[in-house]
Amino acid sequence: MGEVIRFKRPKPGEKHKGRGLCANGFHKWAADGKTVFDVKQGRLVTRLVCERCGAVKVQGR
Ligand SMILES: [Zn+2]
């Protein structure tokens, strides 16, 4: 007894960290600095790209 238990467990999600979040819809959106013209909406929208998986979405207003 008396041993110091060290919490030295390796992080299981380190190899593909963030992927689980993306899979669950929690993307890390970052604006790519461009505004694109959405023809469907007929107006300018901001394009967002996920830094982890590269998914793209547009953010209208
Ligand atoms: Zn993502």
**Contact in structure between 32 and 45 (CB atoms under 8 Å):** no
Question: How close is the Cα of 32 to the center of ligand 1, in Å?
Answer: 14
Q: For residue range 5-58, what is the model confidence (pLDDT) as tens digits?
A: 776 666 555 556 667 899 999 999 999 888 888 888 898 999 999 999 999 998
Q: According to the model, what pLDDT value does residue 35 have? A: 83
What is residue 20's DSSP assignment? Answer: H
Protein residues with C-beta less than 5 angstroms from the ion ligand 1: 22, 27, 50, 52-53, 55
Q: According to the model, what pLDDT value does residue 61 have? A: 64
Calpha distance 46→28 (Å, rounded): 15
47: CB partners within 8 A, 6+ apart? 31, 32, 34, 35, 36, 56, 57, 58, 59
